[in-house]
């Protein structure tokens, strides 16, 4: 991230520079001294075998790094155990030197729904809020953007990203172990912001969208992927307690409310480009997660409902311009 500041910021010129530099320093100091999971996962990544991949494929469904014949049996064993120790792998799949990490989500399915609606990524500056292990950042890196910055506060996912970057070593992809509210206002900086799977976790979704709007260059694009409910009545579902066993779900808008949020945040040219119900093909339990998955979140008698009796998850992708 120090490289990010060096390449893209100008001390004394960009008003966000000092605040971002401080955040980067604070996070570095935190990662150097943290205990708990951050310390545990950091040491896992440090112990992964040092191998230079002979090939990298960011265009196929699995982010693929190196080939299995590059590894000695002992290295393969260490790599496999290290990757297992970084569980749960929610987003993927990844292929590390022939070790196939079959993540809970088949993230290529969302990528394939999204990609026809993305602008050209070449020479673009992109922010991915809630980037998880970087699956979408790596897919975007294949199109030669100037930079992709991810934000991922959860230790396992941040260090999964670090594990992939240990081998990919992509110079235009960065990630901070930070939440979006920690990022200083970088007004008119990004060409594209991805906000996928985040907004329903926010108590003030419009406030977040406004900050995203202001961080985009004029004409820049946002991609918002969010849980939605059917209908166009400007209603939101506000779960009494949990939604699909998640405690931290607040507003799930219908299609009109989602559009109204984007308009109120200042966006124009608002388009709903995809609406897809989440299936057991896209989100399912694999050997790479130990927790429950979609089938445990749905009513076994009526899978059109969550266990709480709310409509089962449906996600929509919106694009809009600043």
Instruction: List interacting residues with ligand SAM (CB under 6 A).
Output: 91, 107, 129-130, 132, 151-154, 157, 179-180, 196-198, 201, 225
CB of 194 to ligand SAM, least distance (A): 7
Instruction: Retrieve residue 270's tokens.
Output: 């608002």
Select 66 or 130, whichever has its Cβ closest to ligand SAM: 130
Select 127 or 216, whichever has its Cβ closest to ligand SAM: 127
CB of 193 to ligand SAM, least distance (A): 12
CB of 317 to ligand SAM, least distance (A): 10
Select 66 or 133, whichever has its Cβ closest to ligand SAM: 133
Are the CB atoms for 168 and 56 separated by under 8 Å? Answer: yes
Which residue, among 149, 150, 173, 267, has the nearest Cα to 212 in the 3D structure? 267
Residue nearest to ligand SAM (CB): 130
Select 75 or 102, whichever has its Cβ closest to ligand SAM: 102
CB of 123 to ligand SAM, least distance (A): 23
CB of 91 to ligand SAM, least distance (A): 5
CB of 295 to ligand SAM, least distance (A): 18
Select 61 or 201, whichever has its Cβ closest to ligand SAM: 201
Select 66 or 150, whichever has its Cβ closest to ligand SAM: 150
């Amino acid at each position: 991230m120090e490289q990010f500041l060096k390449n893209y910021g100008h001390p004394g010129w960009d008003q966000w520079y000092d605040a971002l530099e401080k955040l980067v320093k604070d996070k570095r100091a935190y990662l150097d001294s943290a205990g708990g999971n951050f310390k545990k996962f950091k040491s896992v990544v440090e112990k992964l075998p040092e191998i230079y991949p002979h090939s990298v494929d960011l265009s196929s469904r699995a982010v693929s790094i190196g080939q299995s014949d590059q590894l000695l049996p002992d290295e393969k064993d260490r790599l496999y155990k290290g990757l297992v120790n970084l569980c749960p792998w929610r987003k993927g799949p990844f292929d590390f030197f022939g070790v196939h990490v079959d993540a809970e989500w088949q993230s290529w399915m969302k990528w394939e729904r999204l990609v026809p609606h993305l602008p050209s990524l070449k020479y673009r500056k992109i922010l991915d809020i809630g980037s998880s292990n970087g699956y979408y950042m790596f897919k975007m890196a294949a199109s030669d953007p100037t930079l992709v910055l991810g934000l991922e506060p959860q230790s396992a996912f941040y260090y999964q990203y670090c594990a992939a970057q240990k081998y990919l070593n992509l110079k235009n992809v960065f990630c901070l172990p930070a939440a979006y509210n920690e990022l200083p206002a970088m007004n008119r900086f990004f060409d594209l912001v991805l906000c996928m799977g985040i907004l329903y976790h926010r108590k003030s979704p419009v406030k977040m969208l406004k900050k995203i709007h202001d961080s985009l260059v004029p004409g820049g694009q946002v991609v918002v992927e969010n849980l939605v409910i059917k209908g166009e009545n400007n209603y939101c579902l506000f779960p009494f307690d949990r939604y699909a066993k998640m405690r931290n779900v607040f507003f799930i808008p219908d299609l009109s409310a989602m559009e109204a949020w984007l308009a109120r945040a200042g966006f124009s040219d608002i388009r709903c480009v995809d609406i897809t119900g989440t299936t057991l093909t896209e989100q399912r339990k694999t050997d790479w997660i130990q927790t429950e998955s979609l089938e445990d979140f749905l009513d076994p008698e009526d899978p059109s409902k969550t266990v709480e009796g709310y409509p089962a998850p449906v996600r929509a992708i919106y694009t809009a311009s600043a």
